[in-house]
Structure 1
Amino acid sequence: MNKIKLVASAFFLLAMYTSCNQTQETTKVIVTDSVIVAVPVAIELKDANSDLAYNQYLHLKDVLVLSDSTQAQGAAKDIAATLAKISGSENSTKIAYDMASEGSLSKQRILFTTLSTELITMFKKAEISSGSMFVQYCPMANDGDGGYWLASETEIRNPYYGDEMLNCGEVKETITKK
């Protein structure tokens, strides 16, 4: 009886997932005996420094989702060091270093908006080997001015509000291999 409930639950979740007008497969659903796990589809960039910067950016976004300003400082320092190795990313590097020296979470989030705008432009020009990245947007971020960010999945995890408004936002664009 429990297996029937588990299978029924898995089909229900799968139906809910596919009914949300999502046009691309962004996660793989793995069903085991007792757990359903969603795994993001990995993205790979051809340039090693760009690939590392993207992964560091995702970590920075995730610690902002957790509202952890101390970890955000360390994550910003890491991405700044990597961005310094990428030609043409001087402005992004400066913004990331500014974030690393900022202790205020609200100021870090404002700088994150600017950093995200810079990196979205950079990654749109990058050579992608596989996978997709998603440009997401929250209209309420920055006192109603809105804010964009990048994610490796379509699920909204808002870095501007954390737990306060974790799912506020939408996918605005998908960046894929050209």
Structure 2
Amino acid sequence: MKKIMIMVAIIAIATTKITFAQSKTDVAFNQVLTAYYDVKNALATDKKDVAIEKVKVLTAKVNAVPHKDLPAAQHNVWMEQAKIIKAKAAELAAGKDIKVQRKSFEGISYAMIKTVKNIKFNSGTVYVQHCPMAKASWLNEKENIENPYYGSMMFDCGDVAETIKAK
């Protein structure tokens, strides 16, 4: 009986450690998603200087993800997409023209879409939205369209292409 109780305790501790590590990773990924939304919102409201500041936060959040505990397939996806996000974030930060920033954001968006779909970490519903004029998609925390590719010119242009439910 004592051996059984010890085994149960060991299993409980091991499971808790794995769950805690995963939840810590999920928290970090959700912080990346929130930082992404901040960049999207800045571009959707034509605030190029705010977008530059917010994309720096996004890069820091990407760098802070504790990815080593991810399963191999998810780890590979993350490493590939994180590289793209950081490269496009650097382009966006260097962009003086909002059109250039929006083109860089497109690359960030496709990497984020792939990340959310493959790692499934989101704690809230995520809407994949698409603008037929820009021929580009992005993620939104709200179902209402907020187009980062045209901003105030066509703020509500687009549609919800997919809804990704919370994990």
Query: What TM bracket, shorter-length normalisation?
Result: 0.7 to 0.9
Equivalence for 2:98: 105
Amino acid at match of 2:156: N
Matching residue's letter, 2:46: S
TM-score normalized by structure 1? 0.68
- The unaligned stretches of length 5 or more in structure 1 are 1-43
Q: Which of the residues 70, 79, 84 maps onto 1:91? A: 84
5+ unaligned residues in a row in structure 2: which ranges?
1-22, 68-78
**Equivalent residue of 2:61, what SS?**
helix
Count of residues in correspondence between the two structures: 131
Task: Give the 3-state SS of the residue equivalent to 2:157 in structure 1.
Answer: coil
CA distance in 2, matches of 1:128, 1:176: 10
- Cα RMSD (Å) of the superposition? 1.9
Return the index of the structure with the highest Cα Rg.
2
Q: Which of 47, 65, 82 lines up with 1:68 in the alignment?
A: 47
2:142 is the counterpart of 1:153 = yes
Higher strand proportion (structure 1 or 2)? 1
| TM-score normalised over the length of structure 2 | 0.72
Distance in 1, matches of 2:26 and 2:89, equals 20
Alpha-carbon distance in 2 for matches of 1:163, 1:57: 19
Contact 2:39–2:51 (8 Å) recurs in 1: yes
| Cα drift, residue 129 of structure 1 | 6.0
Structure (1/2) with the larger helix percentage: 2
Q: How does 1:1-178 map to 2 (within 5 A)?
A: 47-86=26-65, 87=67, 88=79, 89-128=82-121, 130-141=123-134, 146-177=135-166
Q: Deviations over 1:51-98 (max 9, x none)?
A: 111001111111101111111111111101111233411221121122
Deviation per residue, 1:24-63 (Å, 9 max, x gap): xxxxxxxxxxxxxxxxxxxx99612211110011111111
Alignment check: 8 A CA contact 2:88 2:104 kept: yes
**Structure 1 residues 45, 140: CA separation in 2 closer, same or farther (over 3 Å shift)?**
farther
CA deviation profile, 1:90-146 (whole Å, cap 9, x unmatched): 2211211221121210000001111100010011123336431000000101xxxx1
2:130–2:159 CA contact under 8 A, matched in 1: yes
Give 1:30's aligned residue: none
SS at match of 2:112: helix
